[in-house]
Amino acid sequence: MKTVGVAILGLGVVGSGTYKILRDHREFYRKTQGVDLSVESVLEINKQRALDLGIEESKISDNIAEVVSNPNVDIVVEVIGGVEPAKSFVLAALHSGKSVVTSNKELFCKYWYELEAAARRTNAGLYYEASCVGGVPIIRTLIDGLQANVVQSLTGIINGTTNYILTRMSREGSDYKEVLKDAQKLGYAEKDPTADVEGYDAAYKLSILSSLAFHKRVPLENVYREGITNISVKDIEYGKELGYVLKLLAIGKNDGKNSIEVRVHPAFIRKDHPLASVNDSFNAVYLVGDSVGDVMLYGRGAGDFPTGSAIVSDVIYAATHSEVKYATFKNTEEPDKNTKFVTDFRSRYFIRFTAKDKAGVLAKVAGVFAKYNISIIDLIQKGEGIDEIPIILITHETNEFSLRRAIEKIAEIDDVVSVDSTIRVEG
């Protein structure tokens, strides 16, 4: 039976979970996969952490050069996170001819082209299933499951922290800041939650997923991004009245030619949409292929064992496949010059504004919308007998730039006190 040596760089939450899976399932993989996966080295500055997991002291190292020069190591697993020193460590492994498995979405999103160039030079494998959507096998699905299709769109809830926060706000009517504190206590959110709540984490993942789905390099800077920090419970409740659920969505659209639309932002979706029932820290990706139609993948988007499951899946794949696959597109720092990234995308919009309770206000608002060819689907006017009232409306599909210009003009109307929220409506 073939024995394949594995090194793990970092024994944090995900690294420890990965080690436990490899250790506890070693015999199972021998029987079912015909390969013996042996952890031959770990890079961990906290030696006691490694010893507590039962790792032999002789296999614990604090030197990357020692790890990548080990002749017993065939596959290097990077679970350190961030850009450096992870990037230098991964490049060292690839330059040594070792295949690499990584869960590092930021590193992979920003430097995929550089890592792949290094891998090609030594014919090393480069695997990254765990970089997107935790234990959900979305990358393998795109690479090995949907090749027969031109993927027309993907829509995902791909950040568990924001989904947990929005679920709690919707379910309990709790304030954003209050729920964020709870999420931090439970370990769902970091002490500095910026990467999650401002949409950076989802943007990293969308850059990777849309590149794979649409066979074109989609750099991070081409992903439009908004977070959830300005979302209020009022908006969620008004959305419910109109039959909508609020989610932070990652959206990619492909016209089948050379135009791609990629954006991350809060959005209302109909309560009967498949993604509307994805709650708490769960993730899901909803794909549309030209041949297969609709496909949805759902599961845990983070955590030690879910992410470890994706990592070990890649380790097994690398250990049992001699042929190495790379990107299906020209993987360079800059995207193909023929690719057009759509910025004036089309959507419907939920708009909440506060106005003085006077006759003619709605007529003035409608007049502004008419000027920009925007029509209204639904409208709710709240309050009676008070000087200032909230007005909520949903538009028909229109262009982003037209909507922004209309909002600017509405804010200038004398009897409009404030434009409080503008949220896209999808699906």
The catalytic residues are 205
Per the CB < 8 A criterion, the answer to whether 43 and 7 are in contact is yes
Token couple for 310: 């994706």
How far apart are alpha carbons 8 and 369 in whole angstroms?
A: 57
Burial of 354 (0-12, 13-18, 19+ CB in 10 A): middle
Sign of torsion, CA 283 264 262 207? negative
Pairing of strands 293-300, 282-289: antiparallel
**Cα-to-chain-centroid distance, residue 424:** 18
What b/e string do you get for 283-298 counting C-beta neighbours within 10 Å, with b at 16 or more? bbbbbbbeeeeebebb
Instruction: Locate the DSSP E strands across 91-231.
Output: 99-102, 126-127, 151-157, 224-225
Identify which of 281, 26, 318, 298 has the alpha carbon closest to the alpha carbon of residue 135. 298
Q: At what angle do helices 160-172 and 233-241 cross, to 10 degrees?
A: 70
Q: How far apart are CA 47 and CA 58, in angstroms?
A: 11
CA gap 262, 249 in Å, rounded: 11
If one counts every other C-beta atom within 10 angstroms of the C-beta of residue 277, the result is: 12
For residue 148, how many C-alpha atoms fall within 13 Å in the half-sphere facing its CB?
A: 4
